[in-house]
Amino acid sequence: MSDTLIAWQGPDGLALTVPADGVLPEDAAAAVVPKDAPRIILPRSALPNAWDFLSAWDFDEKTGARVNIARARDVHRDRIRAARAPALRAADVDFIRAIESSDDEARAAVAARRQALRDLPASPEIEAAGTLADLRAFWPSELLGPSPYAA
């Protein structure tokens, strides 16, 4: 696989094209990229080291791509929502069990956990995050389980 990429402004944002083996990047760009679309040919290593936030990238005529931190926050919120769904289902079961056993203390603890899970996407830490490292650092594993960003 080629180490060279073509980054270009597609109709819906950043588009990346990898030339086929043996095809010159200029020829691939001529075949794939619309003539009036801004583009840049660059090594893969020049792109942000943030493939886990690829959907938050914007086209940049000088560097090929840059991370849009506002969209990265939305990507992170979506990951939190996906991770909390099974945790909320499990909490619902725990809540019903607490009701069935008339355990008011357990019911209150589960209700607090459910509320904490519901509040996670609106956490001020997400909006305050100025970098991807800040976003990756905010993953309450005690509520959501292991971080998807862990190495």
Count Cβ atoms below 10 Å from residue 33 Cβ, excluding itself: 19
Whole-prediction pTM value?
0.85
* pLDDT per 10-residue tile (average), the chain, 151 residues: 87 92 93 94 91 94 94 97 96 95 96 97 97 96 93 67
Cβ contacts of residue 81 below 8 Å, gap of 6+?
Answer: 121
**Separation CA 116–CA 12 (nearest Å):** 35
Residue corresponding to tokens 């990898």: 18
